[in-house]
Structure 1
Amino acid sequence: MEEVEYGLLQKPDCKAYEIPPAVRSSGHLAEEWKNCIFQGKLRLVAKGKFCYIQLLARDNSLFLACQVNPKFIERTVERTKDSSRYFVLTVVTPNGSNVYIGMGFDERNDAFDFWAALLDFADRIKNEEQPVVEVAGPDLSHLQLRDGQTISLSGGNKPVVANPPATQPKLFKLRPPPK
């Protein structure tokens, strides 16, 4: 049986950049990215226990696809050190080598939505993998009614009405605030 693919996020505007190798151990800086190699749409889709970042041209042709393991998001999607709107994607080529592509959004909200969708998917997969533990409560079988046993309730002086008539709620007036 083939697993179903479903969408996690779509953003209409996304850019991809050719990035220089990181020369510092602290990570990549988006301000160094000068060569924009793609402008188009982003789709984040899930299939099974993985999600995929797809960069699509305006005609929906695939420019790039990047598989993300939800257990190791930071190995595939790294945030830049100087901006919350840009990320470095580690794309594995068919021959097994890694290619690093810069990806960014013009709007900070779009970047936040992208990162939040990745983390939400990772949490969902983590929760699905955890075994369901049923907690046994106290034995309440002695509180059950036995066959033929009944309970009668009295409401004191007020008669008990099974189906109260529908009435309009009573409005009340609030006192003015203290001076």
Structure 2
Amino acid sequence: MEEEYESVLLIIRECFVYKIPPRTAARGYRAAEWGDLATSFLWKGRLRVVSKGRRCEIRLEDSSSGELFAMCPYEIHSNSVEAVLDSSRYFVLKIENEGRHAFIGMGFQERSDAFDFNVTLQDFVKAEKEAAERTVDTTPKKDYGLKEGQTINITIGNLGVKRSKPRSATNNNDGIVPLLPPPPS
């Protein structure tokens, strides 16, 4: 059995976790509804995005000890990570523990961190799609080459027939190419 190795795709040194109200109707989440974002966070720590085989996990860890606070298994076709409607720096994560799940708000101080987080998840999706296409194309290729001793005979019709059209009068100089004037200086 092959042993899978972990690959760290992204580390962001500071992120914030928020308790969020339940989603109302079909509209998405809004970070403005989470209270004062500068002071009302529940937890502050480090974020690591890790891939292991064909899985991806978003891990929220203590900055100094590395102790795991929460883990969000990232699934491409689900709502495991959702961007909020009113900010590019905040997201909603579906964290899971022993079969139970909860939704938490997660945000970054800097827009560049949020951009890096988004791009990392998009790169993972792109890599997964490419890997899926490679596994689909594992059917054996047909060999259209000639086996040893095989030959191909090609008959092209009308090769022995000469032209019956008369040559034009301008082309009647017996194959001699006229001299061209010298190039302008």
**Percent identity between the aligned chains?**
39
What amino acid is aligned across from residue 61 of structure 1 in structure 2?
Answer: E
Number of equivalenced pairs? 137
The answer (yes or no) to whether the contact 2:9–2:49 under 8 Å persists in 1 is yes
Give structure 2 stretches of 5+ with no counterpart.
146-185
What amino acid is aligned across from residue 55 of structure 1 in structure 2?
Answer: L
- What is the CA distance between 1:132 and its match in structure 2? 3.9
Measured against aligned partners, the alpha-carbon deviations of 1:12-61 in whole angstroms (never above 9, x if no partner) come to 11001111101131111101113411111110000011111011112211
What amino acid is aligned across from residue 85 of structure 1 in structure 2?
Answer: R
Matched, 1:93 2:97: yes
Give structure 1 stretches of 5+ with no counterpart.
140-179
Aligned positions of 1:19-168 closer than 5 A: 19-34=20-35, 35-59=40-64, 60-69=66-75, 71-72=76-77, 74-94=78-98, 96-130=99-133, 131-132=136-137
- What is the CA distance between 1:135 and its match in structure 2? 9.1
What amino acid is aligned across from residue 79 of structure 2 in structure 1?
Answer: R
Q: Work out which of the two has the higher radius of gyration on C-alpha atoms and give 1 or 2.
A: 2
1 CA distance for matches of 2:24 and 2:100? 19
2 CA distance for matches of 1:14 and 1:135? 49
The answer (yes or no) to whether the contact 2:84–2:92 under 8 Å persists in 1 is yes
Measured against aligned partners, the alpha-carbon deviations of 1:112-163 in whole angstroms (never above 9, x if no partner) come to 1101100101110110111347999x98xxxxxxxxxxxxxxxxxxxxxxxx
- TM-score, normalised via structure 1 length: 0.69
How big is the alpha-carbon RMSD for the aligned residues of Structure 1 and Structure 2?
2.2
- TM-score, normalised via structure 2 length: 0.67
2 CA distance for matches of 1:114 and 1:127? 20
What amino acid is aligned across from residue 64 of structure 1 in structure 2?
Answer: A
2 CA distance for matches of 1:117 and 1:39? 21
What amino acid is aligned across from residue 117 of structure 2 in structure 1?
Answer: F
